[in-house]
């Protein structure tokens, strides 16, 4: 099948006209970033291009997809109830998960991160980790792109919205994280890193205030390069005889920040484990889609799978197969396999 034929299949599927699901999953799963860009440019009834020349999903079409999803769920519920069968929506293979994963997968990464950040702010404190994830696991250019997309989509800056919607002690850290533009070169000043490791150690051990309220802690974690912070982590362990995150057992947001900056595979495997547990709430479960879709193109996916297997004693694909069903499961497994 030619590229144009494949794009036609995708366009038909997203229009709601119906298509063979296995073909759709196969086509979507093998798309690379430049192919997704071609798809966006070639389907103007789904995407619009702003004055910064990046393609974003048309709001009206997203709303239409959501209506189609609800309609299909109602029909399926009605059919199963008539047969005397009870069903549970979560991870049952309904398009509510399936469609969302596919829409996110075809989005420009900047738009995807901007929309994920907006949704995290709406949901509140439980999802502040998503803001940390976007701010700390993306490159400086990727984060800048997400900020530009956010401005275009919502007519506000992400910094402004974080400052307005976050009211707790996390505000200063989160505003500084989403505003950051880190140096990404190879140079690290070891003496400075050693000195700042002492600063963090003293702040983490202080009894008079929480480390997240310490201006020096915020400055270091939001401005230093990832390599520099990794060096700080090494020196911290020499000072404390413990891993830096071990001293942050009750400071979840700071712990997530350090993991995303130093060992993102540790952070992502923990998030995936929570999402795949029985009894996880819907917000926690949504992280499965988010992490797999955003990380499938990254070299870190292999590390995430290795870390997950090491920590939890089971293959990530096997766990997804056990928990998810239908097209949703098949699509996620296709994306996970990209990082083999």
Q: Are residues 220 and 274 in the same domain?
A: no
Q: Are residues 245 and 281 in the same domain?
A: no
Nearest-CA neighbor of 335 among 98, 25, 1? 25
Classify residue 118: in a domain, yes or no: no
> Residue 199 CA to chain centroid, in angstroms?
30
Classify residue 64: in a domain, yes or no: no
Mean pLDDT of the chain: 83
pLDDT at position 69: 46
Q: Are residues 207 and 238 in the same domain?
A: yes
101: Cβ contacts below 8 Å, ≥ 6 apart = 289, 292, 293, 328, 331, 332
b/e sequence 321-334, b meaning 16+ C-beta within 10 Å = eebbeebbbbbbbb
> pLDDT 10s per residue in the chain (340 long)?
666 666 676 666 666 555 556 666 777 777 777 777 777 766 666 777 766 656 677 766 666 555 554 444 444 444 544 443 333 343 333 334 556 787 788 788 999 999 999 999 999 999 999 999 999 999 999 999 999 999 988 999 999 999 999 999 999 999 999 999 999 999 999 999 999 999 999 999 998 899 999 999 999 999 999 999 999 999 999 999 889 999 998 899 999 999 999 999 999 999 999 999 999 998 999 999 999 999 987 768 999 999 999 999 999 999 999 999 888 898 899 999 875 5
Classify residue 279: in a domain, yes or no: yes
Element (H, E) at 175: helix 171-179
pLDDT at position 97: 58
Classify residue 143: in a domain, yes or no: no
Classify residue 301: in a domain, yes or no: yes
Q: How many Cβ atoms sit within 10 Å of the Cβ of residue 57?
A: 22
Q: Are residues 258 and 276 in the same domain?
A: no
Q: Are residues 276 and 241 in the same domain?
A: no
Task: Report the alpha-carbon angle 70-76-78, nearest 5.
Answer: 100
Classify residue 88: in a domain, yes or no: no
Contact 144, 135 (CB under 8 A): no
Q: Are residues 217 and 248 in the same domain?
A: yes
pLDDT at position 102: 78
Q: Are residues 274 and 224 in the same domain?
A: no
Classify residue 324: in a domain, yes or no: yes
Q: Given 262, 288, 308, which residue is the final one in a domain?
A: 262
Contact 259, 229 (CB under 8 A): no
Q: Flag whether 279 is marked binding.
A: yes
Q: How far is CA 122 from CA 75, 108, 128, 159, 161, in A?
A: 29, 21, 10, 14, 10
Classify residue 165: in a domain, yes or no: no
Q: Are residues 314 and 256 in the same domain?
A: no
Q: Are residues 297 and 333 in the same domain?
A: yes
Q: Are residues 273 and 247 in the same domain?
A: no
Nearest-CA neighbor of 121 among 180, 163, 173, 162? 162
- 218: domain CATH number is 1.10.220.10
Q: Given 225, 243, 262, which residue is the final one in a domain?
A: 262
Q: Are residues 273 and 303 in the same domain?
A: yes
pLDDT at position 291: 96
Q: Are residues 304 and 333 in the same domain?
A: yes
**Nearest-angstrom CA–CA distance, 272 and 316:** 9
Q: Given 217, 247, 262, which residue is the final one in a domain?
A: 262
pTM over the 0.85 mark: no
pLDDT at position 72: 47
Q: Could you tell me the residue range of the domain that residue 254 belongs to? A: 190-262
Domains in the chain: how many in total?
2
């Amino acid at each position: 099948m030619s590229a144009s034929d494949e794009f036609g299949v995708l366009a038909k599927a997203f229009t709601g006209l119906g298509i063979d699901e296995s073909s759709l999953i196969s086509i979507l799963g093998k798309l690379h970033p430049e192919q997704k860009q071609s798809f966006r440019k070639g389907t103007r009834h789904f995407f619009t291009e702003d004055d910064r020349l990046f393609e974003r999903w048309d709001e009206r079409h997203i709303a239409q997809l959501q209506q189609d999803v609800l309609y299909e769920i109602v029909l399926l519920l009605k059919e199963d109830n008539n047969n005397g069968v009870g069903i549970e929506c979560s991870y049952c293979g309904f398009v509510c998960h399936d469609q969302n994963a596919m829409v996110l997968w075809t989005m420009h990464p900047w738009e995807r991160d901007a929309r994920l950040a907006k949704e995290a702010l709406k949901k509140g404190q439980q999802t502040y980790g998503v803001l940390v994830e976007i701010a700390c696991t993306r490159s400086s250019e990727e984060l800048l792109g997400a900020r530009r997309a956010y401005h275009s989509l919502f007519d506000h800056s992400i910094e402004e919205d974080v400052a307005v919607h976050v009211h707790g002690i996390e505000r200063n850290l989160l505003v500084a994280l989403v505003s950051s533009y880190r140096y990404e070169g190879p140079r690290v000043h070891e003496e400075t890193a050693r000195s700042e490791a002492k600063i963090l150690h003293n702040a983490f051990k202080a009894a008079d205030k929480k480390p997240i309220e310490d201006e020096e802690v915020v400055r270091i974690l939001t401005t230093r390069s990832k390599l520099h912070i990794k060096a700080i982590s090494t020196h911290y362990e020499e000072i404390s005889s413990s891993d830096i995150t071990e001293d942050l057992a009750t400071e979840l947001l700071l712990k997530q920040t350090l993991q995303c900056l130093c060992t993102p595979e540790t952070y992502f495997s923990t998030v995936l484990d929570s999402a795949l547990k029985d009894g996880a709430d819907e917000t926690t479960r949504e992280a499965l889609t988010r992490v797999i879709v955003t990380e499938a193109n990254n070299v870190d996916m292999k590390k995430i799978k290795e870390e997950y297997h090491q920590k939890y004693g089971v293959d990530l694909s096997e766990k997804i197969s056990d928990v998810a069903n239908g097209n949703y499961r098949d699509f996620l497994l296709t994306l996970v396999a990209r990082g083999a």
